[in-house]
Structure 1
Amino acid sequence: MPNLVRRRELLTFGAAAGLTAIAAPAWAQRLDIWEPRRAVLHNLHTGEAFNEVYYANGSYLPDALAEANRVMRDWRTGDQTFIDPALFDALHSIQLKLETTQPFQVVSGYRSPKTNAMLRSRSKGVAEHSQHTVGKAVDIVVPGVDLANLRDAALDLGAGGVGYYPVSNFVHVDTGRVRQWRGA
């Protein structure tokens, strides 16, 4: 039975990745479809890392996406969801723009509705319908990269929402509608 669940999970990830590729936003269509794309992530809360090619030969790789989704899971509850592959594309593009091989330090990836409600009860800066709860957002920092430069690289991409949190020391990147804000 565990193999059946794993296979079903991979098929679901693969189908969703395929649909995402078809509906890729304009900024993502500028990426070379034949060039491999790598995500380099380090989850600050779990210590887990992901450093793999998740896209090659014109296709998203379901096994790699499944592992990246695991690393981006809600560290408080262990819940995970399908992370929008366009978010990994955005991170890939930001990394190229910054000309760094340093990993994205993941402050917050997926957030379960339960975790989001808890954080919202503690802070007015947490959106009720956060992109984190639908697998379309990540809060990051990159070692050796000035936070303002990270923000500017994300803004230049025009991929979605960009939140700049200089006091909390992270940049929020999402694949929702294009917008920007400054937080604490």
Structure 2
Amino acid sequence: MPRMPACACCAVPGRRLILRAGAGLLCAAIGAGTSLAQATGGEPRRLRIHRLATEEAFEGVYWRDGRYDREALRQLDWVLRDPSRGEATPMDPRLFDVLYAVAEEMEAGEGYQVISGYRAPETNAARARESRRVSRASLHMSGMAADVRLVGRDSLGMARLAAEMQMGGVGLYRRDGFVHLDCGPARRWS
């Protein structure tokens, strides 16, 4: 899997990369959907999330009977909003599938701590000015990324497992003890 430099942590890939990877991503997306369905046997998908910045939480089923639960997605959108602006966006439900699959593989029932979910463009620009590790084209602005910890689990182990699963981008932030997960193209960095 290609390694990305730290400053491109959540960057949206360039046009050439998207075109080159198009067919592969389509196959991967179909395969990932099939794998997730096979892994769950069509069982409901559940998440447990605690947003550190707001002390809000979501615990429940977001997918059942072959479809996403709209009310659960609305609740997740709000919990993962940009707290500095009080602004929510519709999060990409595939992000929740990534979070679900990683937690299931790690047999983690304790749930996620969310450091960052959606970021308004203004919030992301401010963070990018503060740190070169924040991409100006972050998938956080599209509702496709979250920076998380799994309670009681090693972040290095989680990053390695998520990278092996190839369901999206994986960034390890060892110093801060969290992992960036997204539902964009499979790539990794640390």
Q: TM-score, normalised by structure 1?
A: 0.84
Cα gap change, 1:45/1:25 in structure 2, threshold over 3 Å: closer, same or farther? farther
Find the counterpart in structure 2 of residue 93 from structure 1: 101
Cα deviation code 1:19-45 (max 9, x no counterpart): xxxxx5421321226210011100000
Aligned with 2:36: secondary structure? coil
Give yes or no for the alignment of 1:49 onto 2:61.
Answer: no
Conserved 8 A contact 2:47-2:61: yes
Residue identity over aligned pairs, in percent, reads: 39
Structure 2 alignment gaps of length 5 or more: 1-28
Q: Pairwise mapping of residues 126-145 of structure 1 onto structure 2 (< 5 A)?
A: 126-145=134-153
Higher relative contact order (CA 8 A, sep 6+): 2
Residue number among 21, 31, 35 corresponding to 1:26 in the alignment: 31
Q: Deviations over 1:79-121 (max 9, x none)?
A: 1101111110111110110011011100000000010011011
Structure 1 runs (4+) deviating above 4 angstroms are none
> Secondary structure at 1:40's aligned position in 2?
strand
TM-score of the aligned structures, taking structure 2 as reference length: 0.81
Partner of 1:3: none
**Secondary structure in 2 matching 1:51:** strand
In the aligned structure 2, how far is the partner of 1:127 from the partner of 1:106?
19
CA contact (8 A) 1:42 1:50 kept: yes
Counting only pairs closer than 5 Å after superposition, residues 145-160 of structure 1 correspond to structure 2 as 145-160=153-168
Where does residue 40 of structure 1 map in the other structure? Answer: 48
> What residue in structure 2 maps to residue 59 of structure 1?
67
Separation in structure 1 between the aligned mates of residue 62 and residue 155 of structure 2, nearest angstrom? 26
CA contact (8 A) 1:87 1:174 kept: yes
Please say if residues 98 and 168 of structure 2, whose CA atoms lie closer than 8 Å, have aligned partners that are also in contact. no
Aligned partners of 1:28 and 1:86 also within 8 Å: no
Q: What amino acid does structure 1 have at the position aligned with 2:113?
A: Q
Q: Deviations over 1:55-90 (max 9, x none)?
A: 000010100000011000001111110111111011
2:183 alignment counterpart: 175
Give the aligned residue type for 1:28: G
Q: Relative to structure 1, is the Cα distance of residues 61 and 129 closer, same or farther in structure 2, using a 3 angstrom cutoff?
A: same
